[in-house]
Structure 1
Amino acid sequence: MTDNLQRVQKLIAQSGVASRRKAEQLMQEGSVKVNGKVVTELGTKVGPNATIEVNGVPIEKEEPVYFLLYKPRGVISSAKDDKGRKVVTDLLPGVPQRIYPIGRLDYDTSGLLLLTNDGSFAQELMHPKHQIDKVYVAKVKGIPAKEELVQLTKGIHVDGDTLKAVRQRLLSTDRKKNTAIIQLTLHEGKNRQIRRMFEALGYPVDKLKRERYGFLSEQGMQPGDYRELTPKEVKKLRHLANQNVN
Structure 2
Amino acid sequence: MSINRSRLDRYISEKLNISRRDVRLLVAQKRIVVDGKTTDDISLIINKFSHIEFDSKVLQANKASYIMLYKPVGVVSATKDEQHKTVIDLLTFPEKSSLHIVGRLDLNTSGLVLLTNDSRWSERLTKPENKVKKRYIVTLKNPLTPDYIAAFEQGMYFAFENVTTRPATLAILSDYVAQVDLVEGRYHQIKRMFGRFRNPVVNLHRQSIGKLALDNKIKVGESRYLTPLEIEQIDT
- TM-score, normalising length from structure 2? 0.74
Deviation at 1:206, TM superposition (A): 0.9
| 8 A contact 2:126–2:132 mirrored in 1 | no
Aligned residues: 199
Alignment of 1:114-193 (within 5 A): 114-158=114-158, 159=160, 160-173=162-175, 180-193=176-189
1:79 corresponds in structure 2 to 79
Deviation at 1:200, TM superposition (A): 2.1
Q: C-alpha deviations, 1:202-239, integer Å up to 9, x for none?
A: 1111110011222222322221121110112112223x
Deviation at 1:118, TM superposition (A): 0.9
> Residue 204 of structure 1 is aligned with which of 197, 200, 217?
200
Q: For the residues of structure 2 that align with 1:79 and 1:165, how far apart are their CA atoms?
A: 31
- In the alignment, residue 51 of structure 2 is paired with which amino acid? P
Gaps of 5+ in 1: 1-7, 14-19, 52-58, 174-179, 241-246
| Structure number, greater radius of gyration | 2
| 8 A contact 2:124–2:130 mirrored in 1 | yes
Q: Does 1:89 align with 2:92?
A: no
Q: Does 1:227 align with 2:224?
A: yes
Higher relative contact order, structure no. (Cα contacts within 8 Å, ≥ 6 residues apart): 1
Q: C-alpha deviations, 1:130-179, integer Å up to 9, x for none?
A: 22221101111212331233101111112223224431101111xxxxxx
1:66–1:192 CA distance, 2 compared to 1 (3 A): same
Q: For the residues of structure 2 that align with 1:184 and 1:129, how far apart are their CA atoms?
A: 19
| 8 A contact 1:165–1:184 mirrored in 2 | no
Deviation at 1:93, TM superposition (A): 2.4
- In the alignment, residue 227 of structure 1 is paired with which amino acid? R
| 8 A contact 1:157–1:163 mirrored in 2 | yes
| 8 A contact 1:112–1:211 mirrored in 2 | yes
SS in 1 for 2:229: helix
Q: For the residues of structure 2 that align with 1:119 and 1:230, how far apart are their CA atoms?
A: 18
Q: Does 1:49 align with 2:46?
A: no
1:177 corresponds in structure 2 to none
- In the alignment, residue 237 of structure 1 is paired with which amino acid? I
Q: For the residues of structure 2 that align with 1:170 and 1:104, how far apart are their CA atoms?
A: 25
Over the matched positions of the two proteins, sequence identity in percent amounts to 30
| 8 A contact 2:51–2:60 mirrored in 1 | no
Deviation at 1:38, TM superposition (A): 10
Q: For the residues of structure 2 that align with 1:151 and 1:38, how far apart are their CA atoms?
A: 63
Q: Which runs of 4+ in 1 moved over 6 A?
A: none
